[in-house]
A and B are shown apart, each in its own frame.
Chain A
Amino acid sequence: MLDWLSNLFPVLVVVVGFWSVRRALRQPLWAEAWRRLKANRLALIALSVIGVYALVGFCDSIAWRNDKNANSLSLIDRAFSRPAEPTYSAPLANKTFGEPTPRALQGRHLLGTDGTGQDVVYLTLKGCRTALIIGGFTLLIATPLALLLGMLAGYFGKRVDDAVQYTYTVLDSIPNILLLIAMLLVLGRGLPQLCVALGITSWVGLCRLARGETLKHREREYVRAARALGISHGRILMHHILPNLLPIIVISVTLGFSGLVLSEAILSYLQLGVAAGTGSWGNMIDASRLELARDPVIWWNLAAASAALFILVLAFNLFGDALRDAIDPRLNS
């Protein structure tokens, strides 16, 4: 029963995502942006790389258990169901690594194994889901909050504006990393806590952007005309101003995604990342700190995790830039 529900959620996320993209592409603005984006080969490559990561994350989210007492295993877990090796082994080696009398391995591992004998390719793939959840859910928390408060502040002004501005000025005057440390120390380690804490630090920039844009649009003639026709404030905000804010919000959310994924690695180094049992690139990188000091060096853990992280972040950076140029060509200097 529970399996069924927890599998429904990732499917729902994918379906809603596809549906909203398809709906958006019917509108002239987004259709035009997509046409420009299609002409950019680098952007398409970046988009397909993101797609591959999303697919891995999706496969890792579909899980069920074989019998009642067993842990539930995802598709990725099932694909790598070989028993663990005794300890470290080098990429494609057939013996264990760093022991006085190397033992034979049960199989070959493309990127070797870590200290507990787990396959590094498997661990790296497990990190995909964590990274995507950190980026995605944080933005799912931060964006609606930022849009709501920013639009209310920009549209109504006066007291509302003062209150919202004061709140974000206070939050913004605490350097992000210190606020994150304080919140995570209080909330404890874990994926949901991380998303909430990152959400609280990342809504400020978006809110400021939404407020400024709403302030501009409020004075435009189409809004005045709507007011003169007696359309309610709520409807003006939702149906007239919001669609005009969306392009700039989409751009800044895409560019913000990579920063969130990167901060997971730094927080893991400060021992404030996800719990040790959850596979994440930050934890892998943190664990590999001491491995470089060994002789001979164990490099494959660090290399695999940082390469996976690097490629995802690079893809998001390149795609974000291309998206910005496609949506608003005037910004392209």
Chain B
Amino acid sequence: MLRYLLRRVLYAVPVLLGVSLATFILFYGIFPPEQIARRNLSAKNPTSQQIQEWLVAHDYNHPLPQQFKKHMTELMLLRFGRSDSTGEEIWTRIKTGAGPSTIIAGLVFTASLATRLFFALWSAYFRATYVDTWITLVSVFLMSVVYIVLVIAGQYLMGKVLRLFPLAGYQSGWTAFRFAVLPVIIGVISGLGGGTRLFRTFMLEEMNQDYVRTARAKGVPESRILFVHVLKNAAIPIITSTVLAIPALMLGSLVLESFFGIPGLGSYTVDAINAQDFAVVRAMVFLGTLLYIAGAILTDVCYALADPRIRLE
């Protein structure tokens, strides 16, 4: 197991090298630092001297090969440097932003998993009845709603009309949950349609297996077949689909955090987009990739935990 993990981590290295190469091509090749300087300088038509000063101040004044070496080593060592627009150390913002982001994303993740499983099991239990038809239909409808509209309408309905939760904002400590409820509910609803439909197909695929027929022949009640036998066997595809949900969680934190004014990594990234802060965006792309790869490795470990037939070697 340990050797397997080590190998997986080593496999990630060439991929990470490729990712930092891709960001180099984007941020230095296609869009040279002079352009970054132009977009960041407040003057409408900056003189070449102003641009040079900005480049020196932000450490962009090297020839391309040297810049390449610097870019690659710094990303690999996770030294993200300073923000282009505010000059702030990027790591300090990552440290303060990680807390709120983890709370929101973690809650959305667990609540999503639970609700999807609930509706999928419900739908599978009443398969080929009107309950199943309705759940499937509502799922397709939910899949077709734009995320942003859900966020805007949800805030309006639950925050402004019903006054159930604070409209936006954040506080650290236990009061954080009061502010987290509304974004989490919206985050869960946004993924509910697609997730339920997917989980339902996993369940129904298992329902056609031989062991289900055997269990029925033995007289095991239908509810026990579904909630014990099928649920256990459907765990593998469900675990696979949760790693695919990581990018969706990141999208969620971008939109939800910036919309509800939660000072996490998502709203940090959105602020960086609006401020044309290339250094922060570069750092966030790399950090996001790291998290995603780590999630994929974790998934493999979960396979082995969920299914004793799988051994990681």
Contacts and interface: CB of A to CB of B under 8 A. Distances in A.
Nearest to A305: B149
B250 A178 contact: yes
B254 A177 contact: yes
B26 A317 contact: no
A197 to B, nearest CB: 11
Central interface residue in A176, A302, A333, by most chain B CB within 10 Å: A333
B232 to A, nearest CB: 20
Interface stretch (A113-121, A244-252, A269-277): A269-277
A316 to B, nearest CB: 8
Given A262-B146, A313-B144, A314-B141, A175 B270 contact: no
A179 interface: yes
Nearest to A184: B273
Contacts of B19: 170, 173-174
Chain A contact residues: helix, strand, loop or mixed: helix
Given A178-B284, A314-B144, A270 B270 contact: yes
Nearest to B290: A173
A186 B32 CA distance: 9
Interface string A283-316: 0011011001100010000100010011001100
A182 B281 contact: yes
Contacts of A269: 148, 255
A242 interface: no
Interface string B19-47: 10011001100110000000000000000
Given A175-B247, A302-B152, A309-B146, A183 B273 contact: no
Size bracket of the B interface: 35 or more
A89 interface: no
Contacts of A262: 146-147
A47 to B, nearest CB: 16
Given A174-B288, A182-B23, A270-B254, A289 B152 contact: yes
B147 A175 contact: no
Chain B contact residues: helix, strand, loop or mixed: helix
Interface string B216-253: 00000000000000000000000000000011001100
A265 interface: yes
A185 B143 contact: no
Contacts of A176: 247, 251
Interface in A146-185: 166-167, 169-171, 173-179, 181-183, 185
B285 A177 contact: no
Interface in B122-147: 140-141, 143-147
A54 interface: no
Contact of A173 (B15, B152, B208, B270): B15
B282 A266 contact: no
A96 interface: no
B146 A178 contact: no
Contacts of B201: 333
B278 interface: yes
Contacts of B205: 333
A181 B274 CA distance: 11
A271 B247 contact: no
Given A170-B19, A269-B255, A285 B273 contact: no
A258 interface: yes
Contact of B140 (A169, A175, A177, A318): A318
Contacts of B149: 265, 285, 302, 306, 309-310
B168 to A, nearest CB: 11
Contacts of A182: 23, 26-27, 281-282, 285
Interface string B275-297: 01010011011001100110000
Given A177-B250, A314-B144, 9 more contacts: A170-B22, A174-B288, A176-B251, A181-B269, A182-B26, A266-B146, A270-B254, A285-B146, A309-B146
13 contacts: A166-B14, A173-B289, A175-B246, A175-B247, A178-B288, A266-B148, A285-B152, A302-B152, A310-B145, A310-B146, A313-B146, A333-B201, A333-B204
